Amino acid sequence: MNKSGSILIGGIVGLALLIVLGLFSSYSEEKLTDAGLRVAFIGDQGAGPSAFAVLNLIKDEKAQVVLHQGDFDYENDPDKWDRMISNILGDDFPLFASIGNHDVEAWDGYQKKLYDRLEKNPDATCIGNLGIKSSCTYNELFFIQIAPGIGGEEFQERFVPTEYDKFIEEQLSNTDSAWKICSWHYDMNIIQDHLTPNENGWEIYDACKNGGAIIANAHKHFYSRTKTLVDIPHQVVDPEWTNPDKVRVKEGATFVFVSGLGGGGIHSENTGIHGGLFATRDSWGSIYATEQDATHGALFCTFNSPEQSNKAFCYFKNIDGKIIDEFTVTNFVSTDDSN
């Protein structure tokens, strides 16, 4: 056999080995995000010194886009909120937000600020009612933003006349992006009177999980993240992916995080974990609340790593510069992961 033939066979064998080891993934039709796209996830922001510190952290970490899970400045002042962001990140920085329960009164003004930023970012395309019931694509990262339980019946009837779970299913089935995110403010907490199953419910979680989308929440002023779950209402951990620092997304498996340390007050873990969103610690990969002496920060995820296109590298960093949680996400959406 000649030298070129040996190189060809060696390359094929090497590629096969990478696939078996999970170090290479082929997406036949799905589009990957730009290499090294770094996203910051925050919620429950406020307008005090800690909020400014988190924005400066986002700038220092060189995040290229922010996904905000709601509760902006708590002052119903869209101009002040937008000015705070512009002064640190710039008036054209791509920030996309889901409405929070403290944003309802001045929502028209907040939404206008979000539309203004959208217009300054031609790489982003969005459909629907922005931040209420919308889906967007930014550099091939696809994300859905909805508002379950926000604002009461009058607000819901005004803005969202159809079911969220069906909207999620339709949007996830119609995108060819490999990386998908579902974003909304309220987490699921059975001990809160204003979060009944009829207002939030597990259906939206299941719709995102079945479509292979990461689920981003806020509302609780702490940071928490699950392991890979195959049954979210019953907190069943994926038996094939139990490592808390290595999670995966695929049709039927995903993880949920709450990133609510954007600058507001800080909560105890008992406000959302004990009897709440997830009943047992076995399903959790990380918890960072007052019991862990939490301070403010943001979750950062870098999608479409140059080293491995179907992996994201994520970490939660606080404003003191300490990394609290660090994990990888492997994406098997629309691929055969039997190996």
List of residues 6+ apart from 39 with CB closer than 8 A: 63, 64, 65, 66, 67, 141, 300, 301, 302, 303
Spatial distance between the Cα atoms of 147 and 100, rounded to a whole number of angstroms: 8
> pLDDT, tens digit, for every residue of 1-54?
444 444 333 443 343 333 333 443 334 345 665 678 999 999 999 999 999 999
**Domains of the chain: which residue ranges?**
31-331
Q: For the segment 113-124, what is each residue's pLDDT rounded down to a tens digit?
A: 999 999 999 999
* Strands of 159-290, DSSP E: 180-183, 214-217, 223-226, 229-231, 236-237, 246-249, 256-259, 284-288
Please give the angle made by the CA atoms of 173, 310 and 10, to the nearest 5 degrees: 125
Q: Which of 154, 96, 141, 104 is nearest to 120 (CA)?
A: 96
Q: What's the pLDDT at 282?
A: 86
3.20.20.10, 3.60.21.10, 3.20.20.70, 3.20.20.80: CATH of 31-331: 3.60.21.10
How confident is the model over 261-313, as pLDDT tens digits? 999 999 988 765 444 555 567 889 999 999 999 999 999 999 987 778 799 99
The pLDDT score that the predictor gives to residue 189 is 55
- Identity of the amino acid at 218: A
pLDDT band, residue 151 (cuts 50/70/90) = confident
Averaged pLDDT for residues 247-260: 97
Task: Note the pLDDT tens digit of each residue in 77-89.
Answer: 999 999 999 999 9
Does residue 170 or residue 235 have the better pLDDT?
A: 170
Amino acid at 86: S
Sign of CA dihedral 109, 46, 200, 254: positive
pLDDT mean over 57-64:
98
Nearest partner of 172 among 200, 142, 215, 206, judged by Cα: 142
Tell me the residue length of the chain.
Answer: 339
Stated pTM of the model: 0.87
Average pLDDT, the chain: 85
What's the CA gap between 304 and 302, in Å, rounded? 7
State the helix-helix crossing angle for 49-60 and 78-89, rounded to 10 degrees.
Answer: 40
Question: Is it the case that residue 224 has pLDDT exceeding 70?
Answer: yes
